[in-house]
Chains A and B, each alone.
Chain A
Amino acid sequence: QQQVKQSPQSLIVQKGGISIINCAYENTAFDYFPWYQQFPGKGPALLIAIRPDVSEKKEGRFTISFNKSAKQFSLHIMDSQPGDSATYFCAASIRTGANNLFFGTGTRLTVIP
């Protein structure tokens, strides 16, 4: 059973456009929601993260929107650039938990020049 559901599986956006990736979860105990970015041939790397006590977090062109009541969160990439082309994973965990980040299935983003 997938703890975190992610969509879409792939996304093609024109340069300068907005990329939006959505995730949903069921476990209300989750209290930490990071996004990881992975370039081909590399391991994932933390991009941005949010805690459920805020509804939005912005870092440069990247914004996480969080809807606690709907148990959904999303990544918005403003002014998308070809260098943003990568696979993006959302994840969720319990900060007091012993182990684990539960990852979504990933979204392959392609930004066309």
Chain B
Amino acid sequence: NAGVTQTPKFQVLKTGQSMTLQCAQDMNHNSMYWYRQDPGMGLRLIYYSASEGTTDKGEVPNGYNVSRLNKREFSLRLESAAPSQTSVYFCASRMNPAGANVLTFGAGSRLTVL
């Protein structure tokens, strides 16, 4: 019972490099999310996908792109990494976009941009 799996767990990039964070869930959830966590800032939503085939911007989408590859997978891409994108990134999923259903998080991906 894996839940939400994120790869890689750690990554160091140089400014201007690109990379993709991968996320997969095996709970048959419809909605998936990408958050970033920074000290003193809490968790901020980058992008979300309410259902397969749809994506929408969250609070802090600049510098990121996403792809909902299928129902299971939701990737986050940094096209030209900047030091301000140094953060811990969390993917999450839940059964439906609305309602009081539980948001399940992955273990996180720690990204450092030099």
Residues of A bordering B, CB below 8 Å: 2, 6, 9, 32, 34, 36, 41-46, 49, 51, 89, 95-101, 103-106
Which of B13-21, B67-75, B79-87, B93-101 faces chain A? Answer: B93-101
**SS class, residues of chain A in contact with chain B:** loop
Q: Decide: B98 and A95 in contact? CB cutoff 8 A.
A: yes
* Given A9-B40, A89-B43, CB of A45 within 8 Å of CB of B105: yes
In the complex formed, the residue of A with least CB distance to B98 is: A96
Instruction: Show 20 residue pairs from A and B whose CB-CB distance is below 8 angstroms, ordered by the A residue.
Output: A32-B100, A34-B100, A41-B107, A43-B106, A43-B107, A43-B108, A45-B104, A95-B100, A96-B98, A96-B99, A98-B97, A99-B31, A99-B45, A99-B97, A100-B45, A100-B58, A101-B103, A103-B42, A105-B41, A106-B42
A32 to B106 Cα, complex, angstroms? 22
* Given A49-B100, A100-B48, A100-B58, CB of A44 within 8 Å of CB of B40: no
Q: Decide: A98 and B45 in contact? CB cutoff 8 A.
A: no
